[in-house]
Chains A and B, each alone.
Chain A
Amino acid sequence: MLVSWNTMPTSIPKENGSVADIQFESPVIIVDPAAACGSVTLTDESSMTKASVRAADDTAAASALGLAFGSAEHRGDVFVARIRPDEWMVFGAADMVVAMIAELDLGGYASTVDITHSRLMFRVTGGEAAKAMEKVCSLDFSDHMAPNGSCAGASVAKVGCDVIRDDIVGADGATIRSYRILCDRSFGQYLFDALVDAKAEFG
């Protein structure tokens, strides 16, 4: 069920994933569409459904989600990242994310929040993506420090972000370096502009 702005409920039910099927419109305005193209591309993937799971080490939810702190992986159509020692993020199609969250046993110190509308997600892709990121972030983006499937909280252009390396496979079958960046919605336009500026020299 898609809910338009006119019919959006004024109060959001608390059941897991219940707002996931509300149609999402990114607040980011891309002034110059050409700026988002080139050898380093910047795309806005904010509409993807995102959920956060906080769980203590000894909970069933933590065991079910697994992963070492600072790593991420694809599980079918869903992407799971352990972004902090006690926090996981789950991305993907709404029904798949809702299904995964619904299966979690949230006993003990465990909780889940739909962050689809509170967090934006950008993707920086291209052979020079690491160089572009290094201009705005102090993380070490070399392959041995940040291989594919690694993630970290970091400051990107002075905005508190979560950075996840998730390489993609290009049309010719070659692997292309790619990073997902999540930030609070209110910083989205600023961060997008900062990333466009950072990648400008790489085309």
Chain B
Amino acid sequence: MLLVPCPNCGPRNATDMNYRGEAHSRPDPDAATKEEWRTYLYLRDNPSGWLRENWYCSSGCRRHFQLERHTLTGELRNPPLPGRKTAGA
């Protein structure tokens, strides 16, 4: 069982969550070039290490939140406070 740390509900079974993919900023649709937009839509960093991800707590608080996952070890942690997007934000 993978325990996912929801900022509201605490550690919960991953089956209570939805994985919403890698977290990265969306370019301005009016200003972005086609290349930038394609990169945003289709390309992923896929790093070997810590990766910031979007999750949705579908069974619990029903909020979106971000966490960091280590793609080698599978370790999960809530992002450090600066820039942290908590469920209540």
Q: List chain A positions with a Cβ less than 8 A from chain B.
A: 57, 69-70, 84-85, 138-139, 152-155, 160
Contacts and interface: CB of A to CB of B under 8 A. Distances in A.
Given A85-B61, A153-B59, A155-B59, A138 B12 contact: yes
A84 B61 contact: yes
Nearest to B58: A160
Contacts of B12: 138-139
A138 B15 contact: yes
26 contacts: A69-B8, A70-B9, A84-B60, A84-B61, A85-B8, A85-B61, A85-B63, A85-B87, A138-B1, A138-B15, A138-B16, A152-B9, A152-B60, A153-B9, A153-B59, A153-B60, A153-B61, A153-B62, A154-B59, A154-B60, A155-B13, A155-B15, A155-B16, A155-B59, A160-B58, A160-B59
A70 B61 CA distance: 9
A175 B40 CA distance: 56
Contacts of A152: 9, 60
Main secondary structure of the interface of B (DSSP, over half): loop
Given A138-B13, A138-B16, A69 B61 contact: yes
B25 to A, nearest CB: 25
Contact of A84 (B1, B13, B15, B62): B62
Nearest to B16: A155
Contacts of B62: 84, 153
Contacts of B16: 138, 154-155
Interface of B: 1, 8-9, 12-13, 15-16, 58-63, 87-88
A85 B59 contact: no
A70 B15 CA distance: 20
A5 B26 CA distance: 53
Nearest to B63: A85
Contacts of A139: 12
Given A153-B62, A160-B59, A85 B88 contact: yes
A160 B9 CA distance: 15
Contacts of B9: 70, 152-153
Contacts of A85: 8, 61, 63, 87-88
Contacts of A160: 58-59
A57 B62 CA distance: 16
Most chain A Cβ neighbours within 10 Å, of B9, B59, B62, B87: B59
Contacts of A69: 8, 61
B46 to A, nearest CB: 29
A138 B2 CA distance: 11
A72 to B, nearest CB: 15
